[in-house]
Amino acid sequence: MKIELFDTTLRDGTQGEGVNLSVEDKLRIAHLLDDFGIDIIEGGWPGSNPRDKAFFNQAKKEAFKNAKLCAFGSTARRVNSVKSDPNLNALLHAETSVISIFGKTWRFHSSVGLGLEDAENESLIYQSVEFLKDNRRTVIFDAEHFFDGFKDDPSFALSMLKAAESAGADVITLCDTNGGSLTNEISNIVEKVMETIRIPIGIHTHNDGGLGVANTLAAVQMGVSHVQGTINGVGERCGNANLCSIIPNLVLKMGLETNQKVDLSRLTYISHYVAELMNLAPDNRAPFVGKSAFAHKGGIHVSAVMKDSSMYEHISPKIVGSEQRVLVSDLSGKSNIRYKIEELDDNLMADEDLIARVVKRVKSLEHEGFQFDGAEASFELLLRRETGDFTPFFQIVDSNIHTRYDKYGKTISDAVLKASVNGEIEHTAADGVGPVDALDNALRKALSRFYPEIQEVTLVDYKVRVLNEKHGTKSKVRVLIESSDTLESWSTVGVSGNIIEASWQALSDSLNFKLYKTRRTQLNEVVT
């Protein structure tokens, strides 16, 4: 059995909170999914909003190599006006070869929500499918709320499926629209449907019970051959079934073939690319594609992974375009440090004395509140200090940071500091939207004459964590800063009872790391 992959990121995915895609964004994602090996891409509901209409108008002009575009909508609203129904005609006007329409298969929705008699609802489904088939479209019937409907009244739910099948539907998709079904319920109900319906059956699950992926795989085990989901599981409420987990499980764990061979090595890239376009932070703990999916922290784990990665990795990360990572923390043993040394510099001698010193230093700092698994640039500088390969490029001799309110109640922050570079003092001042911004601006101003490359550095993210809440405003804080230049990103950390001091530590490490990497690159170029 081959699996047909149906992606609804551009339709159902955009119904998720905080998700907003432009027409251009949707086209970029559509082409990415096409290259990846998705069979059907559901682009939106052309009869519901101008943006989806514009998407389909533009998509007509573009070529897709593998995937078929699909327009989504509902059955007709009235039995006596199916052929003139605005929604159905908008679907035809989208000019996609595939159309997906949903209809009510839960009597509660049909009778209470729409006020329809059973026969009226059945006729709407039949005539809507028939009308689209008469217009030479491939038709997927989405049986909305099917599992809830089946649990409420199996006879009613199945009769609606039979209406779609009789009208010529190509696929019937069973939808767990509320996302509350258990895996055993999915399996049992799908089995009963397979005994009744002879055309291909699909599955569309939501993640409200945290079972979207599991329920999809259970349905496939029962014979379902059409699978719907979204990239990263974005979607209404708790989201849709996550294709980034479903697809590798289908291929790698269940040994199934997809209609088109998917390029799993691009899976992590696609996941992160879509998240970026949606302005969503990637889920670090996402299976297969998350930053932490193949990250190892415990010393015993790292020691085992260095011998054979399969001891603590269920697949090779390279298969899905990810990478193995070893973290450094107070749980670290010598294996962690040895791994990081070898990862950072093949020429660096990882002698036992160096490893012991670094382990001791890391454990001491993490006890104070530092966190190096989220600040690998700070860890590298720590390591380079221990090897004698790094000394700070600057020192702050004196600083004064002042925050005040003007007569309009607006906060004004400024920083005055003296920076020392190779014994030369630079005295500068700068203001900012807050004390940390003012400090950052003043520091950059002071150093730019000596190190113009720091102007390439931008602040990407700034996080503050209170470490011991019970101490109230006297609590220590940990500041994590992510910085970037035109080539790469890096993270640094600072810890103090004073948020400005903690921020200064992280900022200092960030700029020092940039300068250290620049100097190493320049030296390598001279040598070669």
Whole-number Cα distances in Å, 83 to 1, 87, 114, 127, 508: 36, 10, 20, 9, 69
Tokens 């294709």: give the residue. 243
pLDDT at 49: 87
User: Please, which residues bridge with residue 491 across strands?
Assistant: 482
Contact 520, 453 (CB under 8 A): no
pTM, whole model, 2 decimals? 0.71
- Stretches where the chain sits below pLDDT 50 are 330
Q: Which two tokens stand for residue 122?
A: 């059945």
pLDDT at 474: 64
pLDDT at 472: 62
In the chain, domain spans? 2-262, 295-364, 395-527
In 3D space, the residue among 411, 461, 414, 405 whose CA is nearest the CA of residue 437 turns out to be: 414
What is the third-level CATH fold of 2-262? TIM Barrel (3.20.20)
Q: Which two tokens stand for residue 63?
A: 């070529």
pLDDT at 30: 97
**CATH code that applies to domain 395-527:** 3.30.160.270
How far is residue 343 CA from its own chain's centroid?
A: 26
E strand segments, 212-320 = 226-229, 257-258, 295-296
pLDDT at 516: 92
The one-character DSSP state at 16 is S
Interatomic CA distance for residues 22 and 389, integer angstroms? 48
pLDDT at 471: 59
Interatomic CA distance for residues 28 and 442, integer angstroms? 40
pLDDT at 404: 81
Using alpha carbons only, what angle is made at residue 504 by residues 487 and 376, rounded to the nearest 5 degrees?
A: 45
